[in-house]
């Protein structure tokens, strides 16, 4: 007979699990309410979900930084807390977008399960960012992805089914590559815990050819998996189609939240290689990111649909951020979180502006919901909406003093600093490529502004904001204020993020 | 004896999986795949990994292959599949290069140095007991998250296959609230139309 195992409850440090348990408990609560009482109005579920997210934010704030829990499986460090906050705040701004003008306008909101699945997804993403065990990362990733595929398909249009299937297929590929990468790492080091992996790689050294092939192979397989989820070249092909098919706020949400979770995983995983000075890996990431931002900018120039244009623009922003990830300095890592924290307001706002103008019938174009012509002459019909859209576009193109400008500023300055610190001039070239790409990107953002302000409206068809309601106007108003007033809070935000990131040694 | 058994299983597995890839008939491919899965469990039993061997039999052969065959029965399984290959040379070169690369990556750690497991199994535990010890202490959280994942998959399946998805509120302008009764009525009228 085996000895029974006794584990003291204190050693488990169960508080590290509390944010995820709140989200899962909330989701189960929503399912139970639906079980006992049918046909409740969706407003109730929206408010309940927001309440749960608020409690979740509180639980995340109350965590002690740099603690491990549950047999060292859970890891609460600075980047885990800051990414959880970004995920939760974006979710909190995303959920009220369900409160459109009249009920029963959209299929997904007629299901209480929509909100339950949403909370399950948030819990999965939180698990993913607050562990460095590859098994838990994978299980959390798959929980979040499965929920996300369903959330997309529940919009229930032809396009959204296509989007869900495409995303599902690509997600399955990504899962396969993630597992193969993990297997190689496990075969090389005998561990799936990244802190142990780092220790072992450090001690056994990575000089000889035979000892470098396997870690490099693992990194390449992992980069493929991360590339699928963060939509890096050449694994970005699904992104425009999926964003086009899913509902506009969901597309905006997808361009921020799953990406920031995967970027945290990339930071933990590639951080090992960058700390070991394996230059091949950082060059690989930089090459991929440069191609990503350049190519997607070129593709965005020729798009006829605003939503597809924003999809390509979000790919290019992801490429931008990945370039900083390859440096591995504290400033570069914290500028990634600052960038996404600021990009979140603007991008969600731009997609929300598309959302309130969605019509059930495609009145302007045979295929697209939001062609550029739809917005032509908007300044005369809806002056305030046109100005708000213009602010979001200017912010996305990185024009001061709007929010994304500060993100770009810190990101590029971290690249320049790195070049000065290492004395290598090739990182200056990287910074110049990033600036040039921002300049190219300005063209397609300004194209929309030209349509809105300078072109005459399409006469017989008027743009009507059918979905507009007080709740949506409030959310958009908040996003606009966050975009315009970023100059006032960017400094404390930067200090907060840098404190969290540096406190856990990234 | 174990060496002989290993080469015996390895040859058979390779042959069966080759049949799976090369056969143009779905039923042959599927049967060969199932047989290969059974033989892989033999390798696990040889390595004293009895638990994994049983899981391989129950999950892959029992569940996954049964699902495959159910799905395949919806199609005409006896028809040969016409594959659309582009240039045979490109396919051969790209596929071959990727295969060689993967083999090198996966065998490199074996050729390198001997890898020791960080968490050796407890003294005196048989294989299923050792798996259970790790699964219900250290890996309890991933185990439970996997349960949540299955719940999510179940909810997703029920919703997406449900009757409510036949009617899309996102496309059609709803004049009054749609309840289950109206959808039932719509279904009935459709059935009448079919007759």
- CA torsion through residues A256, A262, A268, A269, sign: negative
Check whether A207 has a pLDDT greater than 70. Answer: no
Residue B127 C-alpha, separation from nearest chain A C-alpha, in angstroms: 13
What is the residue-averaged pLDDT of chain A? 88
Cα distance between residue B4 and residue A235, in whole Å: 44
Bridge partners for A75 per DSSP: A68
* pLDDT given for residue B165 in this prediction: 82
- Please say whether the beta carbons of A26 and A52 come within 8 A: yes
* Residue matched to tokens 């020729």: A302
Q: Is residue A4 part of a domain?
A: no
Q: Is residue A425 part of a domain?
A: yes
Interface test with B, best of A74, A75, A136 (most B CBs within 10 A): A136
Q: Which residues of B touch A107 (CB under 8 A)?
A: 165, 168-170
* pLDDT given for residue B119 in this prediction: 67
Please check whether residue B147 touches A, CB under 8 A. Answer: no
pLDDT category of residue B193 using cuts at 50, 70 and 90: very low
pLDDT category of residue A227 using cuts at 50, 70 and 90: very high
Domain around A484: 13-502
The residue among A242 and A356 whose pLDDT is bigger is: A242
Residues 6+ apart with CB under 8 A from A446: A393, A397
* pLDDT given for residue A383 in this prediction: 86
Residue A138 C-alpha, separation from nearest chain B C-alpha, in angstroms: 9
- Please say whether the beta carbons of A256 and A347 come within 8 A: yes
Interface test with B, best of A12, A136, A139 (most B CBs within 10 A): A139
Q: Is residue A241 part of a domain?
A: yes
Task: Quote helix, strand, coil % in chain A, to nearest 5.
Answer: 75, 0, 25
pLDDT digits (tens, 9 = 90+) for A109-121: 888 899 999 999 9
- Please say whether the beta carbons of A424 and A327 come within 8 A: no
Q: Which residues of B touch A156 (CB under 8 A)?
A: 165, 168-171
| Mean pLDDT to the nearest integer, A207-211 | 65
Cα distance between residue A336 and residue A263, in whole Å: 9
Please check whether residue B146 touches A, CB under 8 A. Answer: yes
What are the CA-CA distances from residue A193 to residues A143, B55, B106 (Å)?
A: 20, 24, 19
pLDDT category of residue B115 using cuts at 50, 70 and 90: low
* Residue matched to tokens 């080469």: B7
Q: Residue B169 and residue A7: Cβ atoms within 8 Å?
A: no
* pLDDT given for residue B157 in this prediction: 92
Question: Nearest Cα to A255, choosing from A303, A321, A301?
Answer: A321
User: Which token pair is A269?
Assistant: 């995983």
pLDDT digits (tens, 9 = 90+) for A381-428: 888 888 999 999 999 998 888 999 999 999 999 999 998 888 888 889
* Residue matched to tokens 């459709």: B190
Residues 6+ apart with CB under 8 A from A347: A252, A255, A256, A310, A314, A317, A396
Q: Is residue A2 part of a domain?
A: no
* pLDDT given for residue A165 in this prediction: 93
What is the residue-averaged pLDDT of chain B? 80
Check whether A329 has a pLDDT greater than 80. Answer: yes
Q: Number of A:B CB contacts under 8 A? A: 142
Please check whether residue B106 touches A, CB under 8 A. Answer: yes
What are the CA-CA distances from residue B117 to residues A179, A186, B3, B12, B113 (Å)?
A: 19, 9, 23, 30, 13
* pLDDT given for residue B176 in this prediction: 43
* pLDDT given for residue A1 in this prediction: 62
pLDDT digits (tens, 9 = 90+) for A265-293: 999 999 988 888 888 888 999 999 999 99
> A143-152, A312-321, A422-431, B102-111: which range is least confident on average?
B102-111
> A2-11, A180-189, A246-255: which range is least confident on average?
A2-11
User: Which token pair is B122?
Assistant: 């407890």
* pLDDT given for residue A40 in this prediction: 83
- Split into its structural domains, chain A has a count of 1
Q: Which residues of B touch A98 (CB under 8 A)?
A: none
Cα distance between residue A374 and residue A380, in whole Å: 13
| Mean pLDDT to the nearest integer, A202-212 | 70
- Please say whether the beta carbons of A389 and A356 come within 8 A: no
Check whether B36 has a pLDDT greater than 80. Answer: yes
Tell me which of 1.20.120.1200, 3.30.1490.20, 3.40.50.300, 3.10.129.10 is the CATH number of domain B1-80: 1.20.120.1200
The rounded percent of chain A whose pLDDT value lies above 90 is 55
* pLDDT given for residue A52 in this prediction: 95
Residue B3 C-alpha, separation from nearest chain A C-alpha, in angstroms: 22
Residue A140 C-alpha, separation from nearest chain B C-alpha, in angstroms: 7
Q: Which residues of B touch A207 (CB under 8 A)?
A: none
pLDDT digits (tens, 9 = 90+) for A447-487: 999 988 888 877 655 666 777 788 888 999 999 999 999 99
Q: Residue B171 and residue A156: Cβ atoms within 8 Å?
A: yes
Q: Indicate the burial class of A313 (C-beta count within 10 angstroms; 0-12, 13-18, 19 or more).
A: buried
Q: Which residues of B touch A7 (CB under 8 A)?
A: 137
The rounded percent of chain B whose pLDDT value lies above 70 is 77
Domain residue ranges of chain B, discontinuous segments joined by +: 1-80
Check whether A33 has a pLDDT greater than 90. Answer: yes
Q: Residue B152 and residue A117: Cβ atoms within 8 Å?
A: yes
Q: Residue A107 and residue B168: Cβ atoms within 8 Å?
A: yes
pLDDT digits (tens, 9 = 90+) for A137-151: 999 999 999 999 999
Q: Residue B178 and residue A104: Cβ atoms within 8 Å?
A: yes
User: Which token pair is A386?
Assistant: 């046109």
Q: Residue B169 and residue A136: Cβ atoms within 8 Å?
A: no
Closest in A70, A104, A180 to B174, CB measured: A104
- Please say whether the beta carbons of A152 and A160 come within 8 A: yes
Q: Is residue A387 part of a domain?
A: yes
The residue among A445 and A373 whose pLDDT is bigger is: A445
Measured between alpha carbons, how far apart are the two ends of chain A, in Å? 46
* Residue matched to tokens 């991933």: B142
Question: Nearest Cα to A427, choosing from A436, A419, A438, A417?
Answer: A419
SS3 B95: helix
The rounded percent of chain A whose pLDDT value lies above 70 is 95
3-state secondary structure A226-246: HHHHHCCCCCCCHHHHHHHHC
Which of A136-150, A443-457, B60-74, B123-137 tops mean pLDDT?
A136-150
User: Which token pair is A405?
Assistant: 């400008």
Q: Is residue A287 part of a domain?
A: yes
| Mean pLDDT to the nearest integer, A318-347 | 91
Please check whether residue A9 touches B, CB under 8 A. Answer: no
* ipTM at complex level: 0.90
| Mean pLDDT to the nearest integer, A74-88 | 92
| Count of other CB atoms within 10 angstroms of residue A402 | 24
* pLDDT given for residue A335 in this prediction: 93
């Amino acid at each position: 007979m085996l000895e029974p195992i006794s584990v003291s409850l204190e050693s488990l440090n169960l508080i590290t699990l509390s944010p995820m348990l709140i989200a899962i408990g909330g989701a189960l609560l929503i399912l139970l309410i639906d079980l006992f009482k049918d046909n409740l109005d969706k407003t109730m579920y929206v408010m309940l979900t927001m309440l749960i997210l608020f409690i979740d934010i509180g639980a995340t704030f109350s965590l002690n930084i740099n603690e491990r829990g549950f047999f060292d499986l859970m890891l609460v460090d600075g980047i885990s807390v800051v990414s959880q906050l970004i995920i939760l705040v974006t979710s909190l701004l995303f959920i009220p977008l369900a409160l459109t003008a009249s009920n029963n306008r959209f299929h997904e909101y007629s299901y209480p399960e929509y909100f339950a699945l949403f909370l399950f997804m948030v819990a999965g993403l939180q698990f993913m960012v607050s562990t460095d065990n590859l098994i838990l990362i994978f299980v959390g990733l798959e929980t979040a992805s499965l929920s996300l595929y369903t959330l997309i398909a529940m919009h229930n249009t032809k396009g959204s089914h296509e989007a869900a299937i495409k995303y599902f297929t690509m997600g399955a590929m990504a899962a396969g590559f993630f597992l193969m990468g993990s297997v190689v790492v496990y075969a090389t080091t005998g561990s799936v815990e990244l802190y142990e992996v780092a220790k072992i790689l450090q001690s056994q050294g990575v000089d000889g050819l035979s000892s470098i092939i396997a870690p490099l192979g693992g990194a390449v397989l992992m980069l493929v998996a991360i590339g699928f989820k963060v939509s890096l070249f050449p694994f970005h092909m699904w992104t425009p189609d999926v964003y086009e098919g899913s509902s506009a706020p969901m597309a905006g949400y997808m361009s921020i939240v799953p990406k920031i979770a995967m970027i945290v995983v990339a930071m933990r995983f590639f951080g090992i290689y960058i700390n070991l000075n394996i230059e091949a890996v950082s060059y690989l990431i930089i090459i991929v990111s440069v191609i990503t931002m350049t190519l997607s900018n070129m593709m965005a120039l020729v798009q006829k649909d605003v939503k597809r244009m924003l999809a390509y623009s979000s790919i290019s922003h992801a490429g931008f951020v990945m370039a900083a990830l390859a440096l591995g300095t504290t400033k570069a890592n914290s500028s990634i979180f600052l960038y996404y924290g600021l990009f979140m307001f603007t991008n969600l706002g731009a997609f929300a502006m598309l959302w309130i103008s969605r019509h059930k019938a495609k009145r302007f174009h045979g295929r697209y919901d939001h062609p550029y012509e739809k917005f032509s002459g908007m300044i005369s019909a809806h002056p305030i909406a046109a100005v708000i859209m213009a602010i979001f576009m200017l912010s996305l193109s990185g024009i001061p003093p709007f929010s994304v400008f500060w993100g770009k500023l810190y990101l590029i300055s971290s690249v320049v600093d790195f070049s000065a610190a290492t004395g290598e001039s090739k990182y200056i070239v990287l910074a110049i490529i990033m600036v040039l790409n921002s300049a190219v990107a300005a063209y397609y953002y300004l194209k929309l502004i030209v349509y809105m302000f300078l072109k005459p409206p399409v006469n017989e068809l008027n743009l009507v904001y059918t979905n507009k309601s007080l709740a949506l106007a409030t959310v958009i108003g908040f996003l606009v204020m966050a975009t315009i007033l970023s100059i006032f809070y960017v400094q404390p935000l930067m200090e907060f993020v840098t404190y969290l990131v540096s406190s856990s040694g990234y | 004896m174990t060496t002989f058994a290993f080469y015996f299983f390895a040859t058979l597995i390779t042959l069966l999986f080759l049949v799976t890839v090369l056969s143009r008939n779905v039923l042959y491919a599927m049967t060969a795949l199932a047989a290969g899965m059974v033989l892989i469990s033999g390798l696990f039993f040889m390595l004293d990994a009895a638990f994994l061997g049983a899981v391989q039999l129950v999950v892959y052969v029992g569940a996954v292959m049964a699902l495959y065959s159910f799905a395949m029965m919806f199609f005409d399984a006896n028809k040969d599949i016409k594959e659309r290959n582009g240039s045979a040379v490109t396919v051969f070169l790209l596929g071959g290069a990727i295969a060689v690369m993967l083999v090198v990556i996966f065998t490199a750690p074996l050729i390198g140095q001997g890898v020791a497991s960080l968490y050796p199994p407890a003294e005196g535990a048989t294989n299923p007991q050792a798996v259970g010890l790790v699964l219900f202490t250290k890996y309890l959280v991933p185990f439970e998250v996997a349960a949540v994942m299955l719940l999510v998959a179940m909810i997703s399946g029920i919703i997406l296959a449900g009757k409510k998805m036949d009617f899309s509120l996102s496309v059609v302008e709803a004049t009054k609230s749609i309840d289950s009764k109206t959808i039932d009525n719509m279904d009935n009228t459709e059935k009448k139309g079919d007759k």
